[in-house]
Structure 1
Amino acid sequence: MSESSQSSESSQSAESDQSAAQSAPRWEQRFRAPRVSLPEWAEDAPDRSLYFSNVTGTFELYAWDRGTGEIRQVTDRPHGTTDGALTPDGEWVWWFSDSDGDEFGVWMRQPFAGAMPGQEQPAAPGVEAAYSAGLALGRTGTAVIGCSTDEGTTIHVTHGANVPYVVYRSPESAGVGDLSYDSELLAVEHTEHGDAMHAALRVMKLDGTLVGELDDTEGGTRELGLAVLGFAPVAGDPRLLIGHQRRGRWEPAIWNPVSGELRELVLDLPGDVSAEWYPDGSALLVVHTYRARSEIYRYDLADGRMLRLETPPGTVSGASARPDGTVEFHWSSAAEPSVVRNTRDEVVLEAPGLRPPPSVPVEDVWVDGPGGPIHALVQKPGGEGPFPTVFDIHGGPTWHDSDAFAAGPAAWVDHGFAVVRVNYRGSTGYGREWTDALKHRVGLIELEDIGAVRDWAVDSGLADPDKLVLAGGSWGGYLTLLGLGVQPEKWSLGLAAVPVADYVTAYHDEMEALKAMDRTLLGGTPEEVPERFEASSPLTYVDKVRVPVYISAGVNDPRCPIRQIDNYVDRLSGREHPHEVYRYDAGHGSLVVEERIKQLGLELDFATRHLGLSRPDAPQDQGSPRDQEG
């Protein structure tokens, strides 16, 4: 086939796809509209960038030459690819290759110039398949690869064709932090003290020689974490930018592991503060997160001056300072779709095709709870309440909902539902004590906060008490199933995606890094603290569930494995409780757009049927399967 005929067919196909997208319901358009991530750029070749996009219908990696404007698709895999990196010279693209979304795999690489699917090669022959525990690529051809298995964490060093060697090993969870500019120093985040929620830092040479240690946990007795933010981007400078929690929130500091000097940066900002270096090392790009929104600043290290960089109200989900002094950032709000812009008010990168339809803004609500004020974000459809209401519970648990664009909540609003998102105890962004509060009473503490906001929603007239949906994915799916059994009188139905359903079986089947987290949260293994696992497991309360339950699960999920979900479903089936299950061929969620649309469509169908609501956009052949495979 000639190049011209290929181009013509491609153009016709794109026009056909756009026409089909325009005729689809607005909620589907938000999923199908092409999106791009914030581009990563090669430190020594800043015109060479890497980003991921769903422009083909599956999230894949793309190499972008800013000088020529050429864009090449790097990966093309059935389950998608988003985990990639550029070498500092911009010559190579590295990406992580797993099987069917199971997160267990090896790093591959291919040349940036002419980087096309099918040209990949193993990036580190000799490093066995594992779960990724970080990656750092050096200027000298050195690569540091973190691997997590059932035996713990190993960190390998490779250099060109040399045989990889192990520079670090621990039975506890750990991860690659960063390589110094000259590739002589390696920073590692580790939890050798046994607290997987609060890391300590170690800097070593690549032969394993210790250079410096920084540990705020004091042997696990003081719950303060540290994080690697990056080595100084300047030759001969060993300083490491870190995050710490010494004043009850995340803040940046600069640590010289060679001299031992630590410079804490006290910034007059509430909430959590993170940072990264400007390319010349003279300033920091500060990202400030407070009450579900974020903004960015330039902080000059010489005189401590801080300048706010203009961004609209909403969420900056990523930012990067360029060598010319401009800053690129990925921004959105609940009402406005994401865009990659810079501080010159220019659109940096935009995928071809239709923009997603906007949604409605969020309203902030503060509710008194047993552990203090609880922040919730509310979106409402038009008209007067009370509304059927979805409590869309975020995963993590160490995460938080923000004023950012999300196709899922917007779809529920389109269908006449109010949407409430709760930043329960365990969420980030509200101080260390709020994040750490859920230990030992895991799940139950979060549900106290969710229940308090639920009662406010009913009492305020927002929510119809007979049409209350508890929903969420991952940890949010876990809290959904737990909530249906612990608070059976509060909810009308539940929608749980990739959940923890049977905590004991989940612990034994999940990836090792999550086992370490569970031991930290619950204070031990199921054999050591069986009463805590039992109290926090949805399976314990399954016979108290009163309302219809919908569950979706990836059959290759290493985080919330399928066997423990099947155990919960078998208990529902044994008592002939109304439920439906959708199993699909992927891992912890899907990177395929049509699969995401299908999953939300099934949830919408289940909810509207069981709540007695109409759904005019439901496909006629979708049906209502009791238990189906995808």
Structure 2
Amino acid sequence: MTESNGSPSPERREDMPDWEKRFRAPRVSLPDWAEDAPDRSLFVSNATGTYELYAWDRATGEQRQVTNRPNGTTDGVLSPDGEWIWWFDDKDGDEFGVWRRQPFAGGEDELAVPGLDPSYPAGLALGRDGRMAVVGRSTDEEGTTIHLARVSDAPVELYRHRESAGVGDLSHDGSLIAVEHTEHGDAMHSALRVLRPDGTTVAELDDTKGGTVELGLEVLGFAPVHGDTRLLVGHQRRGRWEPLVWDVATGEETDLALELPGDVSAEWYPDGSGLLIGHSYEARGELFRYDLRTRELVKVPTPTGTVSGATARPDGSVEYLWSSAAEPSSVRSTAGGVVLDPPGLKSPGSVPVEDVWVEGPGGRIHALVQKPVGATGPLPTVFDIHGGPTWHDSDSFAAGPAAWVDHGYAVVRVNYRGSTGYGRAWTDALKHRVGLIELEDIAAVREWAIGSGLADPDRLILTGGSWGGYLTLLGLGTQPDAWTLGIAAVPVADYVTAYHDEMEALKAMDRTLLGGTPEEVPERFEASSPLTYVDQVKAPVYISAGVNDPRCPIRQIENYVKRLQARGAVHEVYRYDAGHGSLVVDERIKQVGLELDFAERHLKGRGSRGD
């Protein structure tokens, strides 16, 4: 057993390998812009080696770093008038803290809402005049609360419930507040309620009522027009995510009925005349403009790949964050060119992704495959399993998989049942037999990989972070002969202890997935917990964990590690001072380097790679 707790940052070398350059190269998020001051923007960048918030004045070109914390900052909101930057201040990545704000032009930070105790964030909406905010909070003791805060006044509670909820949006004139809630007890499918600032209810929209079919709703935003009572809503009434326009004053619903095969999201154009449509289908993304008057859908040109975010500007242009597995991300505009290009080191590209469809026990499974240029199988193969679980891998740039490819591995990523982007039935299939369902799909793709000649069965690595780390540990125990070694980052390892220690919103999700608490359905928690199968693990195991993680807390990981130690099982553990992953580039590089080294040492001498 090897244990590590940190070391000095590696020296920067001009001859650093490509995999390290991909992590070090400065990257930026899609800039958020102030609705009433569109030249003022806010974005996230790793330019200093830590992900932090940056203010950008487009009129002058000036950019400045807003936050500067040892473990980084990514949660920030720009006020509609462009005067204030709100950012969430937690402790070392534990996600429990308070909102602070700073003038856009710079200055001292101040407590944004005096009178509210620290909590987990549950949404934030800011008034246009800079004097009102709607703040969502989540704690173990209170459940979810939503407060209305006005400058110079004490915050007033508008909403409280034990189940998870969150702030959806605030109308343009500040008279309406949209809330997503799960008072019915299903954390995967929200209902909507619209409140006045005095807390009284204006309207309700709940697709979970009166039936056994579980349908969810999400707030996409109020119309950006003063006095407009239209709310853009995402729904699942036809088995996938689609938008509709709901007039909360009249109750009228306008179903767009878009003829697109995948999941569809939307946001308003700044004048409220149309919608910017985001379409996700089979691991790729594209954009459209929908005219609300003519009901015409027009494609917005983007390259083939993944659009991770997009926004329509006041001049009608669209800015979007795009990448593919082969090309690094960039912020582009339909007006032409790259919008925001950070100076310094440029990220090397990688290899394109190949699509594979495999028949599985629950239907066709989509997998994405990358392999070194010119390589022929059988290859050492990494099954890199995504987190979430309500997420999906896509044809987008990712430094982690690219690092494995650089070192001679094939990489397979599986969009198992529970993944988004393949319809509601595929996502909602993940119930009660949690973890075991996903592993059935991963096993089917594993058999394809071996049978096709891609993967060497003696050199198979199962790896992932968060939910992917959980599936890694569960797979090593339930499929002990299938995997050569496992690498799990910030995993769920002991499901019962994880439930009792994790943040309240995740407890609600676990109750939905498993049908109750550990005390109510102990057999389901036992069947889905990696700790149950730890004595069956044969492969060497590498685990990394953040000691401040509120999502996959450290105590339940220590329980699993103690069981490995008691058996004398081959394992290594790396603990670091952060939460659910790290926002520090050096730390992330160190973690990937340790994973690559672990794999190299334990695969040495196996198969053709060791000949």
TM-score category (smaller protein) = over 0.9
Cα distance in 1 for residues equivalent to 2:207 and 2:90: 35
Query: Counterpart in 2 of 1:344?
Result: 335
Query: Counterpart in 2 of 1:241?
Result: 232
Secondary structure at the counterpart of residue 438 of structure 2: helix
Match of 1:145 among 127, 135, 144: 135
Superposed displacement of residue 257, structure 1: 1.1
Query: Counterpart in 2 of 1:558?
Result: 550
Cα distance in 2 for residues equivalent to 1:459 and 1:265: 44
Q: Any residues of structure 2 matched to 1:261-340 within 5 Å, and which?
A: 261-340=252-331
**Letter of the structure 2 residue corresponding to residue 461 of structure 1:** G
Q: Which consecutive unaligned segments of at least 5 residues does structure 1 have? A: 1-16, 615-630
Query: Counterpart in 1 of 2:587?
Result: 595
Superposed displacement of residue 218, structure 1: 1.3
Superposed displacement of residue 551, structure 1: 0.2
CA RMSD in angstroms comes to 1.1
Cα distance in 2 for residues equivalent to 1:213 and 1:313: 39
Cα distance in 1 for residues equivalent to 2:476 and 2:42: 43
The runs of at least 4 aligned residues of structure 1 exceeding 4 Å deviation read none
Superposed displacement of residue 114, structure 1: 2.4
Cα distance in 2 for residues equivalent to 1:111 and 1:95: 11
Cα distance in 2 for residues equivalent to 1:371 and 1:21: 48
8 A contact 1:503–1:536 mirrored in 2? yes
**Letter of the structure 2 residue corresponding to residue 568 of structure 1:** Y
Match of 2:347 among 351, 356, 359: 356
Query: Counterpart in 2 of 1:197?
Result: 188
Q: Which consecutive unaligned segments of at least 5 residues does structure 2 have? A: 1-8, 607-611
Query: Counterpart in 2 of 1:134?
Result: 123
8 A contact 1:195–1:220 mirrored in 2? no
Cα distance in 2 for residues equivalent to 1:302 and 1:472: 46
Q: Can you list the C-alpha shifts for 1:137-165, whole angstroms capped at 9, x where unaligned? A: 01132101100000210001111111001
Match of 1:123 among 92, 105, 112: 112
Distance 1:30 1:21, change over 3 A: farther
Superposed displacement of residue 344, structure 1: 1.8
Query: Counterpart in 2 of 1:473?
Result: 465
Secondary structure at the counterpart of residue 23 of structure 1: coil
Q: Can you list the C-alpha shifts for 1:38-73, whole angstroms capped at 9, x where unaligned? A: 000000000000000000000000000000000010
Q: Any residues of structure 2 matched to 1:68-107 within 5 Å, and which?
A: 68-107=60-99
Cα distance in 2 for residues equivalent to 1:54 and 1:200: 36
Superposed displacement of residue 578, structure 1: 0.1
Secondary structure at the counterpart of residue 496 of structure 1: strand
Superposed displacement of residue 127, structure 1: 0.9
Query: Counterpart in 1 of 2:248?
Result: 257
Secondary structure at the counterpart of residue 121 of structure 2: strand
Superposed displacement of residue 20, structure 1: 4.1
Match of 1:24 among 16, 24, 30: 16
Query: Counterpart in 1 of 2:476?
Result: 484
Match of 1:548 among 540, 545, 557: 540
8 A contact 1:21–1:32 mirrored in 2? no
Q: Can you list the C-alpha shifts for 1:458-509, whole angstroms capped at 9, x where unaligned? A: 0100000000000000000000000000111110000000000000000000
Q: Any residues of structure 2 matched to 1:512-523 within 5 Å, and which?
A: 512-523=504-515
8 A contact 1:289–1:429 mirrored in 2? yes
Cα distance in 2 for residues equivalent to 1:61 and 1:346: 23
Pair 1:43-2:35 in alignment: yes
8 A contact 1:499–1:565 mirrored in 2? yes
Pair 1:455-2:444 in alignment: no
Cα distance in 2 for residues equivalent to 1:311 and 1:281: 23
8 A contact 1:194–1:220 mirrored in 2? no
Q: Can you list the C-alpha shifts for 1:20-39, whole angstroms capped at 9, x where unaligned? A: 45421100000000000000
Cα distance in 2 for residues equivalent to 1:170 and 1:519: 16
Query: Taking CA–CA contacts closer than 8 Å with sequence separation of 6 or more, which of the two structures ends up with the larger relative contact order?
Result: 2
8 A contact 1:22–1:29 mirrored in 2? no
Cα distance in 2 for residues equivalent to 1:386 and 1:161: 67
Cα distance in 1 for residues equivalent to 2:550 and 2:188: 19
8 A contact 1:193–1:220 mirrored in 2? no
Pair 1:524-2:513 in alignment: no
How many residues of Structure 1 are paired with residues of Structure 2 in the alignment?
A: 594
Query: Counterpart in 1 of 2:599?
Result: 607
Superposed displacement of residue 221, structure 1: 2.8
Pair 1:63-2:52 in alignment: no
**Letter of the structure 2 residue corresponding to residue 307 of structure 1:** V
Cα distance in 1 for residues equivalent to 2:353 and 2:212: 39
Query: Counterpart in 2 of 1:367?
Result: 358
Query: Counterpart in 1 of 2:368?
Result: 377
Cα distance in 1 for residues equivalent to 2:127 and 2:487: 45
Distance 1:25 1:286, change over 3 A: same
Query: Counterpart in 1 of 2:388?
Result: 396
Superposed displacement of residue 613, structure 1: 6.5
